[in-house]
Structure 1
Amino acid sequence: MRKPSWFNVVSLTLGFAFLYIPMIILVIYSFNESKLVAVWGGFSTKWYGELMQNEAFLDAAWVTLKVGVISSTIATVLGTMAAFVLVRAGRFRGRTLFSGMIYAPLVMPEVITGLSLLLLFIAVGMDRGVATIVLAHATFSMCYVSVVVSSRMASFDESLEEAALDLGCTPWDAFKSVTLPIIAPAVASGWLLAFTLSLDDLVIASFTAGPSATTLPIKIYSSVRLGVSPEINALSTLIIGLVTIGVLVASITSKRAIQKQKRDELLAVH
Structure 2
Amino acid sequence: MNGRGLFRRSVLALGLAFLYAPLVLVVVYSFTASKLATVWAGFSIRWYVELASDEALLGAAWLSLKLAFVSASLALALGALAGYALARFPRFFGRTLFAGLVFAPLAMPEIVMAISLLLLFVNMGDVLGWPSQRGFWTLVIAHVSFTLSFVAVIVAGRLADFDLSIEEAALDLGASPLKTFFVITLPVIAPALAAGWLLAFSLSLDDVVTSLFVSAPGATPLPVVVLGSVKLGVSPKINALGALAIAFVSMTTLAAFLWQRRRENRESNEARNLSPLPALQGEG
Corresponding residue number in structure 1 for 2:145:
139
Matched, 1:67 2:44: no
Q: Structure 1: how far apart are the matches of 2:86 and 2:169?
A: 22
Q: Distance in 2 between matches of 1:106 and 1:120?
A: 20
- 2:236 aligned to 230, 254, 257, which one? 230
**1:121 and 2:127 are equivalent in the alignment:** no
Q: How many residues align?
A: 270
* TM-score under structure 2 length normalisation: 0.89
The Cα shift of 1:172 comes to: 2.6
| C-alpha displacement of 1:64 | 0.5
Q: Distance in 2 between matches of 1:134 and 1:63?
A: 11
Larger-Rg structure: 2
Residue of structure 1 equivalent to 2:246: 240
The alpha carbon displacement at 1:203 in A equals 0.8
Deviation at 1:164, TM superposition (A): 3.6
| Aligned mates of 1:59, 1:78 — CA distance in 2 | 28
Matched letter for residue 98 of structure 1: F
Aligned CA distance change for structure 1 residues 2 and 150 (closer, same or farther; 3 Å): farther
For residues 264 and 90 of structure 1, the distance between their equivalents in structure 2, rounded to whole angstroms, comes to 36
The one-letter amino acid of 1:193's match is: L
Question: TM-score with structure 1 length normalisation?
Answer: 0.93
Deviation, 1:50, is: 0.7
Residue segments in structure 2 that go unaligned for 5+ positions in a row? 126-130, 279-284
Distance 2:37 2:186 in 1: 50
Counterpart of 2:53? 53
User: Aligned pair 1:89/2:95, yes or no?
Assistant: no
The reply on whether 1:160 has 2:166 as its aligned counterpart is: yes
The structural deviation recorded for 1:165 is: 3.5
Looking at structure 2, the residues matched to 57 and 140 of structure 1 have their Cα atoms a distance apart, in angstroms, of: 26
In structure 1, stretches of 5+ residues that fail to align are none
Q: 2:185 aligns with which of 179, 184, 187?
A: 179
- Deviation, structure 1 residue 4: 4.5
Counterpart Cα distance in 2 of 1:164 and 1:38: 61
Q: Percent identity?
A: 48
CA drift of 1:181 comes to 2.2
Moved more, 5-14 or 104-113: 5-14
Deviant stretches of 4+, over 6 Å: none
1:264 corresponds to: 270
